Amino acid sequence: MILEKRIPGKKNKGLVIGYDLGNGFSQISYSISSGTAPETAAVVVGTELFNIPTVLCKRKDVNQWFFGRDAYRQAENGDGELVEGLLQLAREGNPVYIEGETFDPVALLTLFVKRSLSILSLEVSVDLADAIMVTTEELDHRTLSVLEQVVEGLHLKCKNIFFQSHIESCYYYILNQPKELWNYQVLVSEMDADKLITYRLECNKKTSPMVVFIDKKENDRRPGTTEELDLWFTGMVKEVCAGRIVSTVYLLGDGFKGEWMQESLRFLCLNRRVFQGNNLYSKGACYAVREKIDPGELDKQYVFLGDDKVKANIGLEVTKQGAGGYHPLLDAGINWYEAKAECDVLLEKEPEVVVCLMPLSAEKEGKRVVISLTGLPERPEKTTRIHIEMEMLSGNKLQVRLSDMGFGEFFPRTKMTWKEEITIE
């Protein structure tokens, strides 16, 4: 099989925006150029109030909408009806009823995102953004579909818009901090009124490039007194840190507000650096989108393998200059929902295409998958062109679609296609 062509990519750089879209609140960070650390847009100028409640309020009897804190104020004054949990409503897809009128939940979420982006107007112009990264807690097919519809409805001038999960935003934020902070393992704990989420970052320095893993755990928050909460949280972090060297801890969310952390802080601050804040995800999204449009050394030296990532290098077994070779199509470490590639090949003796899977994990062996083009008309060697399209359907499921393109006027193309699904173990 002989490779025929491959499509190259391109680079850009300039203003980038990281948008953390949450069901309870959202945040927006931005970076004006390469080399500048992200800043987070404040809801009130001159403050560190970064959380934008993900809510809308429709004023009574008129088509006037308020968002965020203004929406809460209007609802508290009895001037309108509050709509909360906009992201979850859009995911569920059920109509929203307000004053007897029906509203599309995706349209409401789009309105909120559009209004909230106006917060940036005092600092930068969204129209000048080279790229935007939207990050959410989880990315599945439904959430991805909703985000794509929201972006389409915004009619932004920026065309480089990407999506990633909080786990990946953690990765990019942490690896853009001074190296001494993540020389060993890093713990990120996020807590609100209902749950505790922990992310533990670990780097395998024995591989090249070095492979980074993040382990995520989620627990319901334990109710009770502040003393009981302190002891419960202490037990949780002791369990995560047991037998490991954790150099840095980040505490995120409103759940860590107040003076209740006594025993837990004593444990965490023992030979560790501890930081508290709530804009890690939006800043991590900025770092990530910068790396996408203006790649630096980070992606050359490290590969992040989270649940959203392709776990193996994927390519074709081909003939190059008369010798057997490998042609890469999908790289390990890219997001599965962005993993698409295509190329054309000329068949040699056998009516088959060979797909090669090469996992990054040293514990797993490579895999060679032969796809037979059953029913293909017999033709002389190198007179059949096959168009190959690859797409990841999930983190471990690859779909390969093949089409017979014939060979010009000598051997007209047929309408024959073949489809194969391959599991990446």
Residue 78 backbone zone (phi > 0: left; psi -120 to 50: alpha; other: beta): left
Residue 9 has pLDDT above 80, yes or no: no
> Which pLDDT score, from 0 to 100, does residue 10 have?
42
Does residue 349 form part of some domain?
Answer: yes
Which range marks the domain in which residue 80 is found? 16-164
Q: Average of pLDDT values for 33-61? A: 90
> Which pLDDT score, from 0 to 100, does residue 383 have?
86
> Which pLDDT score, from 0 to 100, does residue 281 have?
97
CA angle 247, 252, 257 (to 5 degrees): 115
> Which pLDDT score, from 0 to 100, does residue 363 have?
64
> Which pLDDT score, from 0 to 100, does residue 361 have?
67
Q: How far apart, in whole angstroms, are the C-alpha atoms of residue 172 and residue 84?
A: 30
Q: Of 164, 192, 209, which residue sits at a domain end? A: 164
Does residue 63 form part of some domain?
Answer: yes
pLDDT tens digits, 107-128? 999 999 999 999 998 889 999 9
Domain count, the chain: 3
Question: Band of the pLDDT at 332, cuts 50, 70, 90?
Answer: confident
Question: Band of the pLDDT at 364, cuts 50, 70, 90?
Answer: confident
Judge if 256 and 379 occupy the same domain: no
For the chain, the average pLDDT equals: 90
> Which pLDDT score, from 0 to 100, does residue 311 have?
86
pLDDT tens digits, 383-417? 889 999 999 988 889 999 999 988 877 888 888 99
Does residue 5 form part of some domain?
Answer: no
Residue 7 has pLDDT above 60, yes or no: no
Q: Of 114, 143, 164, which residue sits at a domain end? A: 164
Specify the CATH number for the domain of residue 41: 3.30.420.40
Q: How far apart, in whole angstroms, are the C-alpha atoms of residue 287 and residue 175?
A: 9
Q: How far apart, in whole angstroms, are the C-alpha atoms of residue 349 and residue 351?
A: 7
Place of tokens 């982006």: 117
> Which pLDDT score, from 0 to 100, does residue 362 have?
61
Judge if 274 and 393 occupy the same domain: no
Q: Of 164, 199, 233, which residue sits at a domain end? A: 164
Angle subtended by helix axes 166-175 and 280-293, to nearest 10: 80
Share of the chain above pLDDT 70, in %: 96
Question: Band of the pLDDT at 298, cuts 50, 70, 90?
Answer: confident
The answer to whether the predicted template modeling score (pTM) of the entire model surpasses 0.75 is yes
